[in-house]
Every structure is written in C-alpha cells, then in structure tokens.
Amino acid sequence: MTEVLLEIDNLSVDYETGRGDLKALRNISFSLNKGEIVGIVGESGCGKSTLISSILRLTAPNTRFREGEVRFKGRNLLNISEQDMRSLRGSDISIVFQDPMQTHNPVLTIGRQMLDIQHRSSATKAEKLHRAAEMLSAVGIPDPQARLKQFPHEFSGGMRQRIAIAMALMSEPDLLIADEPTTALDATLEVQIIEHLRSLQQDMNCAVLFISHHLGVIAELCDRVVVMYAGAVVESGDVREIFGNPKHPYTRRLIDCDPGHIKERARVLPTIPGEVPDLANLPKGCIFRERCDQAMPRCTASVPPLQTIAEITGHRAACWLNHEEMAS
Amino acid sequence: MTNSRSELTQIVVGIVRDPLGLVGLLIVGSIVFCAIFAAWIAPYDPVAMNIQARLEGPSLAHPLGTDQLGRDTFSRVIMGSQVALKVALPAVFGAMFIGLALGMIAGYGPKWLDNLLMLLFDTLRSFPTVMFALAVVALVGPSLQTVVLVVMATSIPTYARVARTQTLSLRNSEFILAERAMGASVFRILGVHMLPNIIGVLAVLAAMDIPTVIALEAGLSFLGLGVKPPTPSWGALLKDGYALIRQTPWLVVGGGLPVILATLGFTFFGETMRDVVDPKLRKQR
Amino acid sequence: MLSFTIQRIGLAVLILFVAVTAMFLMIRAVPGDPVQIMLGPRATPELQALLTAELGLDQPIWKQLAIFYGNLLQGDLGIDVFSGRAVTDIVFQQLPHTLWLILASIVWSAGLGIVIGAYAAAHPNTIIDRIAAAISVSFVAVPAFVLALLSLLIFAVHLQWFPAIGAGDGFWGALDHLVLPAFAIGLSWVGYIARLVRASMLEVMGEHHIRTARAFGLSERRIVMVYALRLAILPVVTVIGVGMGFLLSAAVFAEIVFARPGLGKLVIDSITTRNYPVVMGAVLVSTGLFAASTAIADLLNAWLDPRARSAR
C-alpha cells in the first residue's frame, strides 16, 4: 500500500509587489508518495521556485499564502511554528539547489559546513566527520578525509554538486527536493550525478521532488510528472503516459521543443511562440490560450479545470479540448 | 541642453524630497549666503578689537561672545564661511578637473602611461593626508594657497582613479566602438561621449569631498599652519578657543559649531545627491 | 598565497621608494639653505662650508640621494639640529604613544561599528536601523579634531571626568588618558564601519549559501554570526588598513589637543622650531607605517578569504 508523504492541496501563493499582487501559484494540487520520484517540468517563471520555497517555508518576506495547504506526513506545514518548521529542514526535508557554485559558504571548509548541518545529532565531532567523509565517498568523491579540509572554491562545479547531494542526504531525509540540480553542469556530469542520486535514493528509500526543464532526465528518473505553466498545473500523471500521450497543448509543445526529441536535422529549432502572461494581470480564461494554436472561443470564456483523463494512471489535464473529445 | 537641464532639475527635486537632503541643502545654502553677504550680515568688523569687551559670554550685543582681543565671535564666524569656501571650492574643483583629465588619459592612453600614472596616484595616496600637509607647510610656509595646493594634491588620485575606471569601462562599450569605427577623433570621443558619462560620478565625489576639505582647512588653521591671522577662519577661532579653554567655553563652541554644521550639511547634501544621481555608487564607497 | 604576498610587499616597497625619493627631491628643491637654517645667520663661511661638506650638500643630487638611501637602509634618518641626537631615536621614542592611541581607537570603534552594523542589517528598515543610519552619517561627517576639542571642553575641563593633558603613567593611568582622544578619533569610524558592515551584511544575507544554511535548519543566530559575518567582515579589514592613514592624521590633532606625546606632536613642535630633519624623519616613518598597514590589511584579507588566497 502506498503511503502519501507530501500533499500539496489547492495551494495559491501571491507576491505583494508595488504594481499589485503577483499570483505566483494558483490552485496547485499534487501528491508525492513515500519513496516515489516525481518530476516537475516547466519553463522558467512557471512557479517552480515559489513552490519549493513554499514547501520549505523559505519564502521572501512579501509572500502571502492565499489558500491551500502543504501537508507533510499529515501536518500542514503552513501553520506549524517556525521552531517546528526549522526542525524539519535538513532532517526530514532536504534540498539540493540549482547553482552548485554558490551553494556553499566560500570562507568555511566543506568539513566545517558538513559538521554544522549535523547540529541536531548528539554524535561526537569525530563521528560526525566520519559520517561526512562516508557521504562524500558515497557520491564518488575520492580521498574524502583530505577533501573535508578544503574550501568550496577548490572543487569543480560537478564536485560541488555532489557535495550538495551528500549534504542533503546525510540525515537520510524522507523527502529530497532537487531544484534543477544538473542544469548548471555539462551533459556527461549530468549523467553521473543522476546515477549517484538514483542509487542513494534507492538505498535510503527517500522520496524525491525533481525539478527540471530537461525532459530526458525526467523521463529517465521519475515515476510521475507534473507539468506547470505560469503558476498552475496544466497536466500531471504517469511519466510514460504524459510523454507518450500528452493531453495538454503546452505539454505537447514542450516535448516538440526538447532537443533530445528532435531527431531530424532541423533548419530552425522549434520554439513556443509568445510569452508567459503577466502574473499580476492575468488574462481571462485559459492561461495558455494566447500561445496555443488550438485555442477556441471557450478558452477565452473560462478557465479549464484540471480533469481526470485516466483513472488508473492518475492522468489529469486542464484543457477544454479533452472535454470536447469526451463529449463526442 | 534641454535634456541636461531637466536632468539637473530632477537631481534637485530628488535631493529636496529626501528630508536629509533638504536639511543639507538648507545648511549649504545658508553657508553660501553667509559667505557672499558676510560684510552685510556681520554686525561688527571681525578684526576690530575692543579691549573693554574682552572674553565676554553671549549677549544681545555679541550673540557668541567676544575673544581675548574683544573681537565679536559671531562676526568672525560669519566671515569664516568665506575662508572655508575660498579654500574648499577651488581645491575640490581643481582636483576634480585635474583628476578627470589625468584619469581619462590613463584610461584611454597607452598602457605604459597608464601604469606610470597609476604608480604616481598610488604614491600620492601613500602619504597620510595631514602628515603630507604638515611636511609641505614646513617646507614652503603656511598660507591659504598652500592649503589649497596640498588638498588638491592629496585628492587628485581619488578623482583620477574613478575617472580612469569609468573611461576603461566606456572605452569598450558598443557606442564608443561604433564612434571609433566611424573615425571620430580622440578629442571628440573623450570630450563629447565620455565626459558627460564621467562627470556626474565625479561631481558626486566632489560634493562628498567638500566637508573633508573644510575640516582639513580648519584643522591646519587650528594648528597655526593654515590661514594666517588675523584672517577670521573657523580653525583660527578654535585655536584661540583652545588656548583659552579654561577661561571661556564660547570660543571653542563658536568655532566648532560652524565646522560641524558645515561638514554635516555638505555630507547630507552629498550623500543624497549620490543616491539620486547613481544609487549603485552607494556600494562602492 | 606566497606569490601574492611577495607581489603585495613588492608594490609597497616600490611605492615607498617613489614617495621617499619625491620627498627628498622636494626638500632639495625648496629655496633656503639648510646649513644656514641649522647654523643661524651669524655663522662664519668656514663653518658653513664645513657643515655643507659634512652633510654632503656639495655633492651632485644623485649622489646625495644615494647617500641618503645608504643611511636610510642603516636606519639613519639624520641628526636633530638642536640636540644632536639621532632622529631615528627621537622618532621611535614617540612612535609607541601614537600607535597605542590608534590601536585603542580602532578596537573600540570597529568593535562597536560591527555590532551596530550587524544588528541594523539583521533588522533592516526598522526604527533602530533608521536611527543608526542617521547617527552614522552624522558621525562620519564631524571632524575628529573638533570632537577632540569639544570632548576636552565637556569631559575634561567642565565635568573633569578624565584628565586633559599628557599620556599618564602605568597601565591604568595610560588607559585613563587614552579614553578621550581615542573617543574623539574613533567616533567617526563607528559610523563608517557600521554603514560598511550593514551594506556588506545585507549583500551577503542575500547570497545563495545563506539560503542553503537556512534550508539545513541552522539557527538564524548562527547564520548571522558565523556564516554571514565571516564574509561581511572582509571589507572592514581592508578599510581599517586604508584607514590607518586617516587615523594617523586624526591622531596628530588629538595629540595636540590633549598635549599627548606622539608623532603628531613631534612634527608640530619641530615645524615651529624649523627642525627639518626631525619633521622629515617623522613624516617618513608615518608614511612607511601607512604603506605597511595597507599591505598588511591586504594580506590579512587574503588570509581570511580562501578565494583570494588561491586566485593570485
């Protein structure tokens, strides 16, 4: 029986800005089971970062949680005390950030930083250092004892991202959030890092929320995928079904534009024309309407709800086209 | 021309809108006013002695009292603003323009000249300001001109360095490259295209430098190495006040207050101007 | 790190060389015969010729410069015109007084400035932050010698809390005499350093590694005090090094106002008696001190910042 670990329930988040409220997230719902890997895909600005910082509650001061809940093991993280939230960070929920070059404190040694994040453990300093070295070798860093004494700038970008993964998994968290962990790295490194991440994930059986715009990585690594566009979920479901049979025009365009998908030599690389709508001033109807080549009058009239397409696989999409299909 | 005028209006509006800037502008304005109309404002001749009224405290006749020779302190304070500005303005603007020229030469000229000038600037900066001033005064004797020259010499490197950095960064910018490609002369590039982009930053530096210069002039005169008596400078007032500090507090207060007010006023003014002209500069200082 | 150290020290030596040479040539270029000044107008021509030869003033200028540097390298800065004592001895006798004053000023002002700046950065745009900012600007502007005079007037002459003149005997006596001058010199630095630390802190707190530290549940106190402050303090080190020049200047005034022994008082006294060798010796030593302190600050910065250590 699968057990739900994280449940995002109808979450809406605004940023209060000088030119009005920016509706960064609108009615986001999805869940993550224990030990499962879920991918989140979308262009930059689709609300991925807001979603992550909302889960960890590390949001900017001008953030307002308008409605919805973020339930972790049944507790709503949005209304527990800061004290309780802090005790979850780095122990039950860990994160690997996007840019490995700026993730670590430049004036403290890696050993010192890996020691500091074990602040909740009652182990001795030697035990903690041993644990740190163990984790470094688990992510494939040779000679870990010596490297603990080095500073971040003495490591390459790929090495630093391995260290970040080692740090995040050191407490054997139940949930790991990976925020585009390989975007800043080149392709060969990407494969290695993904391999380490996967093997450690299997050893520890932790759930992973994997954010990326690289569809190839998502397809390879994830069980399920959530497609986000302009602060809303447009499609979600089993990874094979989404990539094999996308039910939202945006997902379809994303797949078309993925370099891994383009088999023939194209004169012009396909792109999605148009721009993401202004989140402070949302247009009426479907948010993708203005960039959609299949838009209908109905799309302007009202927002399409996220509708279940296949019950067994949990495939859901938010597009009026599917309603037409089902009606006919 | 209309463009630069509206820019100037914008700067002034920006300064006045900030309470700190408004206070600064008011203080700076009154000091300039005092300096220009000193002869009319001062109730007494600042060098006229009156043996009967020596070392008096404040009264209606003498708002800040009198000194050991019976001279009216208030009149000397008013006249002192003239001396302060006579030193500060030529020194600051002289340093600014020389620094601007040298900095642009260093930034645009050949590499060896750049290195040479930078070494020169670094050397000039390597003297502690007051020690340098003292050495020069010891050699050529105290006078208003000496003070101006010393101040210029010590602050030229600061302006030159900023002008050089700006020139270097502009030199490779697209619009300058385009001008060069079209065969514009060096003078046209430096004068027409670079100067307007550099002068704003330097003007801000100059405004922020004025309080330092006023303080230095007062300091040298306090040591008896600046403006010669009986010229009424604020530093000279402080010098007399220091000698008589156990007899009367009023000379120190009378000489100290205008120095504090002037430095505060020019600082508030300069800081606000910097924030209005270029908020990015805030980080660099 | 080693090559950076050598480079930095080399630069300091080069600048000092140019500065000292310039100063030497300046002295020679100024009209007025040092021999006449030293012997007075009534000396016989024979005596004048003798001293001229003794001082090497009859030699060509480049040879004089060589002799000057030869002496300088042996620690010989010339002879006091009046007492006949070595200038080196006189200067180094006064130097410790100035150094203690500067050190005391740095310690209290940097300490307080860092605390205020860090607090303001941790609570940006609160009332306390605004007040700290306004006071900082005001402190920065007010010249040290006016502050010295006013604090002398208020705390020494009127309230008589602290002594007005001298350097004091013994540890407590010396400390008692240091309070007012160090206060006057340091006050503008409190504001300056507070502003610097605040700006630098705010910048560091926005960096990604701080977000990482938060994501690992580190306490806010630890993040501010260790993870951010270690970085934010770096520019302060540089500023203190460069600030030695300003502090040396301010110390001149403080020494005069509080009649303390020290380099500044030595220079002023020597100027009034036209004792040029002493003036030049003292100015030279203070220039060397300034050059050394900026170099040390740069090296310290490189030592504190591992990135700078290997980048060079």
- Chain A residues interacting with chain C (CB cutoff of 8 angstroms): 56, 58, 86-91, 94-95, 97, 99, 102-108, 116-117, 119-120, 151, 153-154, 164, 167
- What is the mean pLDDT of the segment spanning A21-34? 89
Contact flag C216-A153 (C-beta cutoff 8 Å) = no
CB A146, CB A181: distance < 8 Å:
no
pLDDT tens-digit map of B203-245: 888 888 888 888 888 888 888 887 777 778 888 888 887 877 7
Q: Residue C310 has what pLDDT?
A: 60
Q: Residue B227 has what pLDDT?
A: 76
Q: Residue A262 has what pLDDT?
A: 56
Q: What distance in Å separates the CA atoms of residue B149 and residue B211, rounded to the nearest whole number?
A: 17
Q: Which of A162, A176, A177, A166 is nearest to A48 (CA)?
A: A177
Q: Residue A263 has what pLDDT?
A: 55
Q: What are the residues whose beta carbons fall under 8 Å from the beta carbon of A114, sequence distance 6 or more?
A: A128, A129, A132, A135, A136, A148, A163, A166, A167, A170
Higher pLDDT, A311 or C116: C116
The interface pTM score, or ipTM, of the predicted complex is 0.84
- What is the mean pLDDT of the segment spanning B91-101? 91
Q: Residue A12 has what pLDDT?
A: 92
Q: Residue B285 has what pLDDT?
A: 37
Q: Which of C67, C86, C81 is nearest to C24 (CA)?
A: C67
Minimum CA–CA partner of B217 in chain C: C143
CB A19, CB A206: distance < 8 Å:
no
Q: List the domains of chain B with CATH numbers.
A: 75-266 (1.10.3720.10)
Q: Residue B55 has what pLDDT?
A: 67
Minimum CA–CA partner of B214 in chain C: C143
Check contact B-C (3+ Cβ pairs < 8 Å): yes
Mutate to test the interface with B, among C146, C197, C256, C276 (most CBs of B within 10 A): C146
Q: Residue A225 has what pLDDT?
A: 92
Q: What are the residues whose beta carbons fall under 8 Å from the beta carbon of A307, sequence distance 6 or more?
A: A316, A317, A318, A322, A323
pLDDT at A226 over 90: yes
Q: Residue C309 has what pLDDT?
A: 64
pLDDT tens-digit map of C116-139: 888 888 887 788 888 888 888 777
pLDDT tens-digit map of A65-110: 989 999 999 889 988 998 899 989 988 999 998 888 888 988 889 9
pLDDT at B280 over 60: no
Q: What are the residues whose beta carbons fall under 8 Å from the beta carbon of A308, sequence distance 6 or more?
A: A314, A315, A316
| A246-282 burial: b if 16+ Cβ within 10 Å, else e | bbbbbbbbbbebbeeeeeeeeeeeeebeeebbebeeb
Q: Residue C312 has what pLDDT?
A: 39
Residue C82, sorted as left (phi over 0), alpha (psi -120 to 50) or beta, turns out to be alpha
Contact flag C213-A105 (C-beta cutoff 8 Å) = yes
- Highest mean pLDDT: which range of A62-76, B131-145, C78-92, C269-283: A62-76
Instruction: Show the tokens assigned to B224.
Output: 């008896």
Q: Residue C297 has what pLDDT?
A: 84
- C chain contacts of residue B268, beta-carbon cutoff 8 Å: 137, 141
pTM: 0.77
CB A196, CB A204: distance < 8 Å:
no
- What is the mean pLDDT of the segment spanning C17-21? 84
Place of tokens 């630390």: C197
**Over chain B, what is the mean pLDDT?**
79
Q: What distance in Å separates the CA atoms of residue A232 and residue B129, rounded to the nearest whole number?
A: 63
Angstrom distances, CA of residue B158 to CA of B184, B205, C138, C227: 29, 9, 23, 33
pLDDT at B122 over 60: yes
Residues C80, C85, C87, C91: is their CA dihedral positive or negative? negative
Higher pLDDT, A260 or B83: B83
CATH code of C94-262, in short, is: 1.10.3720.10
**Least confident among B131-135, B164-168, B267-271, C37-41:** C37-41
φ, ψ for residue A88 (rounded to 5)? -80, -35
Query: Interface partners of C (3+ CB pairs, < 8 Å)?
Result: A, B
Considering only CB atoms, B219 lies closest to which of C30, C142, C145, namely C145
Higher pLDDT, A148 or B132: A148
The domain ranges of chain C are 94-262
Q: Which of C124, C108, C102, C115 is nearest to C232 (CA)?
A: C115
Angstrom distances, CA of residue A271 to CA of A131, A219, B116: 46, 20, 54
Return the SS3 of A74. coil
pLDDT at B284 over 50: no
pLDDT at C234 over 80: yes
